[in-house]
Amino acid sequence: MSYFKIWILDPNEQIQAVASNRGTALPILDVKHKEQINGENSLEFQVPSDHRDAKHIVENGVIVFRGIGGSFQEFVVREIEESHGESGDTKRIFCEHVSNELMDFPLEKYEANKHDVTTMLSVILSGTRWQVGLVDPTETLTHTFYMKSVMKCIGEIVEKMGVEFRFRVQFIGNKITGRYVDVFYELGNDTGKRFEYRKDMNQVRRVVDTYIPTALVGLGKTTEEKLKNTENEKVTFEKIEWKKENGDPRDKPAGQLWIGDEDARKRYGIPDGKGGRTHRIKFVEFSDIEDPEDLIRETNEELDKAIMPKVTYDMDVIDLEKAAGLDHEAVRLGDTVRVIDREISTPINIKARIVEIDRDLLHPENTRIVLGNFLDLYGPEDDLNKIKERTGSWDGATKPGDKVKTRWLDGIIDALQNEIYGGAGTVRLQNDGMLILDKPADHDPQRAIILNNGVLAISNKRVLGGDPATASGWEWRTFGTGDGFTADLINAGTLNASLVNVFTESGDKASKVTIQNGNVYSYTNGQLSMRYGNYRLEMYDYKNAGGMLGYIGTAYDTSNEEYRGISLIGEKDFITLGRLVNGYIRANFRTDFNRGSTAVIGPGTNTEGSGLYTGAGLYADGRIWQYDSDTPSRGQPCIITEKGNVDSVYISDVAVYVGDLENGSEGKFVVRVNNANTNGYKEQLLVDYNRVYFGTNRVVWVKPYSNAFRMGVGNDNYFRLFDNGQFEIIANNVTRHVFYPNGSKSGGSIEIDGKVWGMSPIDSPQVLIETVIFDQNVTEDGVLVELEERYAKAVSHYGVFPSRGDVVVENKTESSFIVRGKDGVVDLRIVGIRVGDEGTYWREMPTIESNEQNDPIEAPAPQ
């Protein structure tokens, strides 16, 4: 099962959780990703609904994952289907690609006059949150985009320029930081990847479209001329004449409204009842074209596409890149691949593009791909046309369980015989030998044979730009001489293995290979050394003739025969994997059946593999030890690393390294302690990428920084200690108390109208809040003083202390008072009791007793 991880964001694109098919994250039970070239891009996955993080998956929420090619993909949750069954409660989530939002952005009008793709996209995407990404095409386009969605405008660029698009997002630090539209001539590459039946292809289906128009009527821009039904006429190419003898691609007489293809008419036209066929005519519109010459050229290009049968191959394949970690077996949307199925009734050997991939991201063996735009590799164009004529039917399917056609080679032989009988090739005698072509040199030959100087050479590949009428115009890779044949591909019939023996001799060593009863036997100096066949490879001991050392073979789980794999089986003393150094095997892995031990050993301190080395061993009595000698020290089970002299430096450390190769932040280190005398346990410590957690419920935690650390309970309540001595207490994510290195402190805060305000504390047995008014005017008639609004709300009652003894305070209210005295100014000190603490007078500061249990700690309440 392949590793897969998704990031779960809320509708505001804030990270909430992750899901994975490994570790303690929200489990992913299954996940499928479907994408088409310039088409559908959807995601479907399933999770258990009773997991604590399942609640974060909501409608219109956002799902992000890293695609096969490495770029991130963003999807929007559109539907959640909850179900209950024997295996538990689950959620199935259906998502659409975020690029679908471009259907909801309108473009009123944009007239592109010989603009390149980058310029057009910049205009079309303005007003959206998407940007122009990677752009390959450099050609320009003149076109009017009018009253369409942004996505429809992108589709018109695809249609007019024949390009292909890719949407991707940039995801950094758990945030989406960019959305991009990339444009390519073609997605994918010609990778040379081969899908072969029974290797990485379980089933293949071939479908041929039944409708092929053989002629097209091209309609251009609407004219001012009215028809009788009040509709306006459109530009046509009726008056234009084309002749192939003048260099035109097709013949088309003046006065004819359509342009057609004669070969297509003969193959796919409508039967006329007289043994012939008439054209199937279809209308195509080019609403921006005013010139009839331009119109006939565009229509002719469209006809070239229309007369090609639309053949697709639908295959169930094994994604070997993900299933087996084979990078060279990678496939991407748009890649050109080769498909080989020799066991189908009509053998398939084609090159085609991947136009659709339906990936099972957890089980790559269930991946499905659809191919289009194919080229048949069994024969020339005539063979391709024979396949195309089988319209409207499934040509056949080869699938697991079908009887294998062992004589598939007969089809190739018959086809080659027919070509010989047909005599359509050309023989040329020239200075560089006898050159035989499958077609005349001016009819695009595809295969050649040359006889010259005692050599027969065969080719099916032309030199780019070379003359096919000469030997230098071909790449020769298969040769026959008096000494035998040399080739990179040989198709052969049945070989009688009992007549085949291979011998080699070198000095005093004689080797022989024979084939008997489906087995391959290898002998050295007359002694059996290896046998291969019947699903196993056996190795024999050269010191003990005939004694088998072990074998590699197929295997299955005895409790479930469907659970299958391969095994390395030893029948003697040990099994070793290592490196050959100076004629000796330096073991990196060794399991010893006599000692009951298994050792994993690191490399030595010198290039010869000797010297100091370290490793770990597993013994039958349950011990793990540092492998620094053949015999480990006895004692209790333990883990010891980096112990001993390494490069003349003594090291005695215990180190634990935790991480995830693909996603380092997912690694965790957990310490669990047996719970009393039961099978249960209590988790005491957990270390992940960000924090150290304590206790079973992971409520208490510590997070270090380069200049400080945080320790808290839950996510919102914690304290911070900085390396300069500053200490802060945070409650509910709000800083409530700060103690500064100079001894001062900010020990009080209060929330007023939704904001938290901090103050310097007054040392008092009461909970007091103090403020001072400086230079307050005072008169003998009295002056009204209003309390600052927030202060009035913060205290329940207060006292006013003038700096002058002759000033009196009168008429106190909750928010104001009057001062009266000799004309002048006065300072006023105002002290009030904090709201809610009217009865507080002294507060006990208790001594904290040690608590070795995990029981809750009672926080002292205000008095």
Instruction: Yes or no: say if 664 and 689 are a contact pair by the CB < 8 Å rule.
Output: yes
Rounded CA gap, 216 and 710, in Å? Answer: 75
Q: What is the mean pLDDT of residues 12-17?
A: 93
Q: How confident is the model at residue 275 (pLDDT cuts 50, 70, 90)?
A: confident
- Per-residue pLDDT, 667: 63
**Higher-scoring residue by pLDDT: 55, 479:** 55
The helix (run of H) or strand (run of E) holding residue 249 is: none
- Per-residue pLDDT, 376: 42
Q: What is the mean pLDDT of residues 530-554?
A: 80
Residue 652 pLDDT > 70: no
User: Considering only CA atoms, which of 708, 839, 663, 691 is closest in space to residue 767?
Assistant: 839
Contacts of 820 (CB under 8 A, 6+ apart): 778, 779, 780, 781, 782, 783, 807, 808, 810
pTM as predicted: 0.37
- Per-residue pLDDT, 251: 94
pLDDT tens-digit series, residues 786-823: 999 999 999 999 999 999 999 999 999 999 999 999 99
- Per-residue pLDDT, 403: 37
How far CA 780 is from CA of 732, 773, 783, 822, in Å, comes to 50, 19, 8, 5
CA 122 from centroid of its chain's CA atoms: 27
Residue 417 pLDDT > 60: no
CATH ID of 5-99, from 3.40.50, 2.40.128, 2.40.30, 2.60.40: 2.40.30
Among 291-295, 382-386, 420-424, name the one with the lowest average pLDDT: 382-386
pLDDT tens-digit series, residues 207-233: 666 678 999 999 998 888 877 667 788
Residue 504 pLDDT > 60: yes
Residue 406 pLDDT > 50: no
- Per-residue pLDDT, 607: 52
Rounded CA gap, 580 and 590, in Å? Answer: 14
**Higher-scoring residue by pLDDT: 351, 588:** 588
| Token representation of residue 785 | 């003083």
Rounded CA gap, 110 and 154, in Å? Answer: 12
> How open is the CA angle 726-729-733, to the nearest 5 degrees?
125
Q: What is the mean pLDDT of residues 140-164?
A: 90
User: Considering only CA atoms, which of 196, 207, 202, 206 is closest in space to residue 367?
Assistant: 202
Residue 616 pLDDT > 70: no
- Per-residue pLDDT, 802: 96
* Assigned CATH for 105-184: 3.55.50.30
CA 246 from centroid of its chain's CA atoms: 53
> How open is the CA angle 843-846-685, to the nearest 5 degrees?
130
Q: Which range scores top for mean pLDDT: 530-539, 599-608, 802-811?
A: 802-811
Rounded CA gap, 804 and 822, in Å? Answer: 10
The SS3 call for residue 121 is: helix
Q: Which range scores top for mean pLDDT: 374-388, 442-456, 583-597, 635-649?
A: 442-456
Q: How confident is the model at residue 586 (pLDDT cuts 50, 70, 90)?
A: confident
pLDDT tens-digit series, residues 314-333: 555 444 334 334 343 456 66
> How open is the CA angle 42-44-46, to the nearest 5 degrees?
165
Q: How confident is the model at residue 635 (pLDDT cuts 50, 70, 90)?
A: very low
Q: What is the mean pLDDT of residues 235-249?
A: 92
The mean pLDDT of the chain is 75
- Per-residue pLDDT, 641: 47
Q: Which amino acid is present at 220?
A: G
Rounded CA gap, 759 and 749, in Å? Answer: 6
DSSP labels, 537-595: EEEE-SSSTT-EEEEEEEEEETTEEEEEEEEEEE-SSEEEEEEEETTEEEEEEEEETTT
| Token representation of residue 534 | 């019947």
Residue 360 pLDDT > 50: yes
Residue 98 pLDDT > 50: yes
Rounded CA gap, 349 and 842, in Å? Answer: 92
pLDDT tens-digit series, residues 178-200: 999 999 888 766 655 555 545 54
Residue 636 pLDDT > 50: no
Q: What is the mean pLDDT of residues 292-310?
A: 88
How far CA 20 is from CA of 24, 28, 54, 200, 409, in Å, comes to 8, 5, 12, 26, 47
- Per-residue pLDDT, 608: 52
Rounded CA gap, 106 and 124, in Å? Answer: 9
DSSP labels, 123-187: HHHTTSS-EEEEE----EEEEEEEEEEHHHHHHHHHHHH--EEEEEEEEETTEEEEEEEEEESSS
Q: Report phi then psi at 588, rounded to 5.
A: -105, -20
Place of tokens 């480990």: 632
Rounded CA gap, 750 and 793, in Å? Answer: 10
* Eight-class DSSP state of 69: T
Residue 266 pLDDT > 50: yes
| Token representation of residue 514 | 């024979």
Residue 706 pLDDT > 50: yes
Strand ranges across the sheet with 484-486: 426-430, 433-437, 448-452, 455-459, 478-481, 484-486
**Higher-scoring residue by pLDDT: 151, 330:** 151
The helix (run of H) or strand (run of E) holding residue 790 is: helix 789-794
Radius of gyration of the chain (CA): 41
% of the chain with per-residue pLDDT over 70: 67
pLDDT tens-digit series, residues 30-42: 898 888 876 788 8
- Per-residue pLDDT, 671: 78
- Per-residue pLDDT, 638: 44
